[in-house]
Structure 1
Amino acid sequence: MSHPSTRSLEMFDAVADTGSFRAAAERLAVSPSAVSKAISELEARLGARLIARTTRSLALTEAGTAYHASVSSALATLDEGAETVNSVTAAPRGVLRLAMPVTFGHMYIAPLLPMFAAKYPEVRLDVTASDAFVDVVGEGFDVVIRGAGTLPDSALIARKIMETPTVVCASPAYIETHGAPAHPDELADHACLVATATQSISEWVFDRDGAAYSVAVSGPLRSTSLIVAREGALAGMGIARVPYHFAGPELESGRLVRLLRDYERQEAAVYAIFPAQREMALKTRAFIDFLVAEVGSVRL
């Protein structure tokens, strides 16, 4: 049995929805006679009356009502299939506005941007590097890179792109003078450089047999900036505790030494924040997928 054309099914669906040949014809930009002919051919093919016609109105028959349910579902499935193909074959394009924190952005995002641009030449990048808070929707950003935290409203979605340990570190000069702690409890005897957003008692959290373990610390420096704590450690002021990505190059070069590694907790995460939309723009989806694949694969 041959199947009716998609066009004839669309005409039947339009007639069923509008209750009129003329209204269906206007919806599909064809003549009423073309719609009437298509319905007659469809009924002849199926061997059943689908529409009961009178001089003043028309209505679906019992067979027509049942058939309309199947036709509507089939047309919706075809539309979804077309959208799926378009999402695969269409090329991301347009301006992508990105905001990223200075240190993390320069270390991990900036080196990847030429690779992304080469992969998606129709996307133009507009990048803001700043540690200041940005209003994702209000300032018109497509993607904002942030550390862990609560989303300010439900209009945003967060996708994790990296999970990194928070490391305790000090300079070789400090270790030579004061020694290196072998256990978190020994930090009480060391100068600790505290980076915290609050003025509460400073505590560093470690892992002990899979459970969180807190140690009170103090020292000659307190700051709301992780960079300030890192620079203090580089200068030999004391021991700092920062996410690995804030001290990666210094640790790799030996300017800082990683301490208490057996007690580290994998607790620092970085997220891509983007506006919640029914259909995410291809440029945004492509960029976030790219970050997850490239940044998420970095070994720390």
Structure 2
Amino acid sequence: MSHQTLRRLVYFATIADVGSIRGAAAQLGLSVPVVSEALSQLEAELDVSLATRTTPRFELTAAGLRTQAAAQKILQTAYDLTDTLSDNQPLSGTLGITLPVELAGFWLPAKIRTFGKLHPDIQFDIDVTDTVLDLHAGPIELAIRTDYIAADAQARMPADLQLVVVTRQDIAVGPDGAVRCPLIDSRADRALVATPKVSGDPIPLQFDNTMRVTNRSAALAMARAGLGAVMVMRGSVAAELATGQLVELLPQHMFGAVDLHVHFRDRLPGRAAKAFAASLTPDHQ
């Protein structure tokens, strides 16, 4: 296989993953005409049409899907060979990651510190946001996102991110689960259930109303101001709970936990992105 064909396969695999020539060009750091021409040259070389460009949505043809699968196998072999040859080479360069605001405040620093001791030549470019980002449109290689899981569910990536409901001052919970304050949350339909840590029946909580705030940091700030209750990760408020600045609602109950999900920009991520993702699992703590 010629170098030109391999290069065109790399471009095509990126186009197929991103779903557009323009998006692939942005990810590859090339101009749209260069990537488009490479696709046309690959089609001419293989004597097939790989994609349909006449519809609003870029779609692979049947031949394109087969070529995508073959290209991924070829590129995976190349990446595996590169990883094997570079296993003893130190990681270096810049790793772009994104994660939610709340995780960045108390969880990320320890992860960066631990990873930095093992790989001191890696620099981080960190985008802290609760907004969903298009990974194909920028330099971010790895996205960390969170999902809520109930108290009796098992996390796919255990990280001990237990949830608590906190307020500025102690608020009694009625026997029917009535809480005389608003719930400050990003969802207007959040149904919180307090599950006893030892024994007893779960308690569905009923707040006066829900004050919808889309930003988790802003929601916590409003709870600190005495405007209601908010569900957050225990680690993000541990110091305030210890000093009494915040009070835990129903401390003998559980409200579930946060599960982490890692998403790579590329189907075949770089060594640094894979190494950092691996460092987040319990086996690497």
Fold match by TM threshold 0.5:
yes
The equivalent of 2:186 in structure 1 is: 196
The equivalent of 1:244 in structure 2 is: 234
2:156 maps to 1:166: no
Provide the C-alpha distance between the structure 2 equivalents of 1:145 and 1:161, rounded to a whole number of angstroms: 14
Q: 2:224 aligns with which of 229, 234, 243?
A: 234
Q: Is contact 2:94–2:123 with CA below 8 Å preserved after alignment?
A: yes
Aligned residue identity for 1:118: K
The equivalent of 1:258 in structure 2 is: 248
The equivalent of 1:284 in structure 2 is: 273
Aligned residue identity for 1:258: E
The equivalent of 2:52 in structure 1 is: none
The equivalent of 1:100 in structure 2 is: 99
Q: Is contact 1:162–1:292 with CA below 8 Å preserved after alignment?
A: yes
Provide the C-alpha distance between the structure 1 equivalents of 2:229 and 2:130, rounded to a whole number of angstroms: 24
**Residue 259 to residue 87, structure 1, CA distance change in 2 (3 Å):** farther
**Residue 136 to residue 169, structure 1, CA distance change in 2 (3 Å):** same
Q: After superposition, where does 1:4-153 map in structure 2 within 5 Å?
A: 86=85, 88-148=87-147
**Residue 205 to residue 226, structure 1, CA distance change in 2 (3 Å):** farther
Secondary structure in 2 matching 1:132: coil
Long gaps (5+) in structure 2: 1-77, 149-155
Q: Is contact 2:144–2:260 with CA below 8 Å preserved after alignment?
A: yes
Provide the C-alpha distance between the structure 2 equivalents of 1:90 and 1:161, rounded to a whole number of angstroms: 30
Q: Is contact 2:158–2:281 with CA below 8 Å preserved after alignment?
A: yes
**Aligned-pair distance for 1:167?**
0.7
Provide the C-alpha distance between the structure 1 equivalents of 2:147 and 2:282, rounded to a whole number of angstroms: 19
**Residue 212 to residue 94, structure 1, CA distance change in 2 (3 Å):** farther
**Aligned-pair distance for 1:293?**
4.6
Which has more radius of gyration? 1
Secondary structure in 2 matching 1:126: strand
Q: Is contact 1:97–1:143 with CA below 8 Å preserved after alignment?
A: yes
Q: Is contact 2:101–2:216 with CA below 8 Å preserved after alignment?
A: no
Long gaps (5+) in structure 1: 1-78, 150-158
Provide the C-alpha distance between the structure 2 equivalents of 1:253 and 1:161, rounded to a whole number of angstroms: 28
Aligned residues: 199
Write the deviation string for residues 200-226 of structure 1: whole angstroms up to 9, x where unpaired. 4x4212326698653332247332333
Aligned residue identity for 1:129: V
**Residue 136 to residue 162, structure 1, CA distance change in 2 (3 Å):** farther
Secondary structure in 1 matching 2:281: helix
Aligned residue identity for 1:90: Q
Aligned residue identity for 2:208: S
The equivalent of 2:258 in structure 1 is: 268
The equivalent of 1:207 in structure 2 is: 195
Q: Is contact 2:143–2:264 with CA below 8 Å preserved after alignment?
A: yes
Identity of aligned residues (%): 20
**Aligned-pair distance for 1:96?**
0.9
**Residue 87 to residue 249, structure 1, CA distance change in 2 (3 Å):** farther
**Aligned-pair distance for 1:83?**
7.2
The equivalent of 2:206 in structure 1 is: 216
Q: TM-score, normalised to structure 2's length?
A: 0.57
Instruction: Give the aligned CA root-mean-square deviation in angstroms.
Output: 3.6
Moved beyond 3 Å, runs of 4+ = 81-88, 208-214, 219-222
Q: Is contact 1:195–1:223 with CA below 8 Å preserved after alignment?
A: yes
